[in-house]
Amino acid sequence: MDRPAIAYIGIGLMGWPMVRRLRGLGYPIAVFDIAPAQLELARGAGARVATSAADAVGGADLVVLNLPTPHAVEQAMFGEGGAARAMRPPQRLVDFSTVAVEQGRAYASRLREQTGCAWVDAPVSGGPPASGAGTLTVMAGGDAADIERLLPFMADVAARFTHMGPVGAGLVAKMINQLIVGCVHVVMAEAASMAEAAGVDAARLPECLAGGHADGSLLQRLVPRMVARDFAPQGYARQLRKDLEMVHAYAAELGTPAPMLQQALALYRRLVEAGRSELDTSAVFTLYEERSI
């Protein structure tokens, strides 16, 4: 089966595992990233290393972004050497990044006006292991016709792909996802801390609670890491803080109360201010361990 040619921009913690998988499936890929070491990894997997985002776009059917910040998205698309300078219909852009809802809609409008190309916001959940295994959860916003053409590609990327509505709808779903994720991270840290203080084996909580109402993927993944003090990043604390700041602003814009979110955000702000921005998101446990809350 012929695979679409991909220009992949952003091959970091999430992007590199996906690029490696897609290359293994036979996708022709051109890559661009500002980190030379990441480019060398991709070159070793058989990807063409481009000199800029615009250079990566040449010959691509799909342009894919997987970037850590809204600023990085804007620069990769509309800055000097940005992809928008080279994109032409029928190329489509798929953005796996997490940006603010109205920001994403504005980028989509800007790309359409400048190039006539479609933008699909497709933020993800699942972390690097799911990115490398093709088992991500993807929530998408875009025109139905554009979504339909992306389905074969998404089948190689995601275990669950949901079209939530027009451009921006995927980002709304991601805001809700991050609201839940951020709050549950804090609850898991609180639970592990309480178990340890009570003198029970906190490492057995996932086994003990499996199948009950408290069970879930975050219980199974986070508590063992917290108990083991394993904070090697599968997702950076600074990234979750960034996302929670976006969710907080969006809740204020909508006028919806979010007291749980405010508490989780306050803890992640403190974690980053303590110099732990490059640790895993599960490192919020360290605040409980230090009794610094």
**Residues with a known catalytic role:** 174
CA separation for the pair 127, 159 (Å, rounded): 13
Q: 68, 85, 110: which is closest to 241 by C-alpha?
A: 68
CA separation for the pair 163, 61 (Å, rounded): 20
CA separation for the pair 110, 104 (Å, rounded): 10
What token pair was written down for 260? 């749980």
Q: Which residues of 164-200 are buried (b: 16+ CB within 10 A; e: fewer)?
A: beebbbbbbbbbebbbbbbbbbbbbbebbbebbeeee
Classify 26 in phi/psi space as left (phi over 0), alpha (psi -120 to 50) or beta.
left
What token pair was written down for 22? 């897609």
